């Protein structure tokens, strides 16, 4: 097994500060990872405070087990199960929800996970290695059209058709079982690429997002997380690529809009339903110092919103 470098939590102080943590509040960390945000949250909670951390990665949950704190509960589940899991814990509302999206450094840097083309390893890509189809299994059975659609939609790859054709042709000769095999197939199909970017980058991103249903999970969970917030509770979300950020931005913008009525309608302002959510401040990006210390943070963007008292 490869030894992964220590995970560096992105926008650590900013994401937690945005929640305006109350010592006696109840908070949810939807993406525990290696616990950077969770540990800082716990340090700001008093004896009556509570933190529930979700992660679908068994290794992340194993790391969470090292936190011996009665205020802390770790849940091995995708955050799309937020509603049923919080209900099972006897909760009714929470004071803040934090989501740090994307892939953690250990997932990328441990060859066995199959996320990276930098290593030759089994083509897995599952965040939860206890269930679901691996990337290799999907590539062995998916149609050329479906593969092309996934690579185009989730990787924004302009050569998606050529990559899909090459994958189908290659699997006809031998199974595509490792990351190196896939990377080599893509490299032959993608002749040009942006400076400094490997030809396989977009394809690997696309397949990972598809295998883990990352965008679907996010779109399903945002309204659920919002519903769980008490009045004044905050949602703090860090995304790492445009597809994620677009979903977060649109959700917050839509929830922050009051009911639209026809112009010149004789309705008093007090009678118009107010927005259920306020967007807080401008999007936050990592400082130059953080990007220099952790280049993987360069694409991160933090958006924050607060639950209003409107129904």
CATH number assigned to the domain comprising residue 263: 3.40.50.150
Position 254 scores a pLDDT of 93
CA distance 288 to 5: 21
pLDDT digits (tens, 9 = 90+) for 90-146: 999 999 999 999 776 555 556 556 556 677 899 999 999 899 999 999 999 999 999
In a domain, 4, yes or no: no
Last residue of a domain, which of 170, 196, 211? 211
Would residue 3 count as lying in a domain? no
Domain annotation covers residue 1:
no
Placement of tokens 């540990």 in the chain? 39
In a shared domain, residues 186 and 223: no
- Flag whether 119 is in a domain: no
Residue 53 pairs with which residues in a beta bridge? 29, 74
Instruction: Determine the 3-state secondary structure of 247 from DSSP.
Output: helix
37 in a known ligand binding site: yes
Q: What is the pLDDT of residues 37-62, one digit of tens each?
A: 999 999 999 999 999 999 999 999 99
Residues 145 and 218 in one domain: no
Sign (positive/negative) of CA torsion 110, 111, 115, 118?
positive
Nearest to 303 by CA among 285, 283, 288: 283
In a domain, 272, yes or no: yes
Domain that holds residue 199: 129-211
HSE, CB side, 13 Å, CA atoms: give it for residue 217. 20
Phi-psi region at 141: left, alpha or beta (left = phi > 0; alpha = psi -120 to 50): alpha
**pTM of the model as a whole:** 0.88
Together in a domain, 24 and 67: yes
Does residue 69 contact residue 46 with C-beta atoms inside 8 Å? no
Has 36 been labeled as part of a binding site? yes
Largest CA distance in the chain: 71
Amino acid 2: pLDDT: 42
On whether 241 is known to bind a ligand per the annotation, the reply is no
Same domain, yes or no, for 42 and 96?
yes
Residues 134 and 179 in one domain: yes
Q: Is 232 annotated as a binding residue?
A: no
DSSP 113: G
* Per-residue model confidence as pLDDT tens digits over 131-169: 999 999 999 999 999 999 999 999 999 999 999 999 999
- Do 99 and 301 contact (CB within 8 A), yes or no? no
The verdict on 101 and 247 lying in the same domain is yes
Task: Consult the annotation and say whether 35 binds a ligand.
Answer: yes
Q: Which of 176, 194, 211 is the last residue of a domain?
A: 211
145: exposed, middle or buried (C-beta count within 10 Å: 0-12, 13-18, 19+)?
Answer: exposed
What's the total number of domains in the chain?
2
Token duo for residue 186: 């893509």
In a domain, 123, yes or no: no
Same domain (yes/no): 93, 168: no
């Amino acid at each position: 097994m490869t030894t992964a470098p220590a995970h560096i939590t992105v926008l650590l102080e900013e994401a937690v500060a945005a929640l305006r943590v109350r010592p006696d509040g109840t908070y949810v960390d939807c993406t525990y990872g290696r616990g950077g945000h969770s540990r800082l949250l716990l340090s700001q909670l008093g004896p009556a405070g509570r933190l529930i951390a979700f992660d679908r990665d068994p290794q992340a949950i194993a790391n969470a087990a090292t936190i011996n704190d009665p205020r802390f509960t770790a849940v091995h589940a995708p955050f799309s199960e937020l509603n049923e899991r919080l209900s099972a814990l006897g909760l009714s509302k929470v004071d803040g929800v934090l989501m740090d999206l994307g892939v953690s450094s250990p997932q990328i840097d441990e060859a066995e996970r199959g996320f990276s083309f930098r290593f030759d390893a089994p083509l897995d890509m599952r965040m939860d290695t206890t269930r679901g189809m691996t990337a290799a299994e999907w590539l062995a059975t998916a149609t050329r059209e479906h593969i092309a659609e996934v690579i185009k939609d989730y990787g924004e790859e302009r050569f998606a058709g050529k990559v899909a054709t090459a994958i189908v042709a290659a699997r006809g000769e031998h199974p595509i079982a490792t990351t190196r095999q896939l990377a080599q197939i893509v490299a032959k199909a993608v002749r040009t690429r942006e400076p400094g970017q490997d030809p396989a980058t977009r394809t690997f991103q696309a397949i990972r997002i598809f295998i883990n249903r990352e965008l679907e999970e996010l779109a399903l969970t945002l309204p659920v997380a919002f519903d769980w917030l008490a009045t004044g509770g905050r949602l703090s979300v860090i995304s790492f690529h445009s597809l994620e950020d677009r979903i977060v931005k649109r959700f917050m913008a839509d929830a922050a809009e009051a009911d639209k009525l026809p112009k010149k309608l004789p309705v008093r302002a007090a009678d118009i339903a107010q927005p259920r959510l306020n967007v807080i401040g401008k999007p936050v990006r990592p400082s130059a110092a953080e990007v220099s210390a952790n280049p993987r943070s360069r694409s991160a963007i933090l958006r924050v919103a607060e639950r209003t008292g409107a129904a």
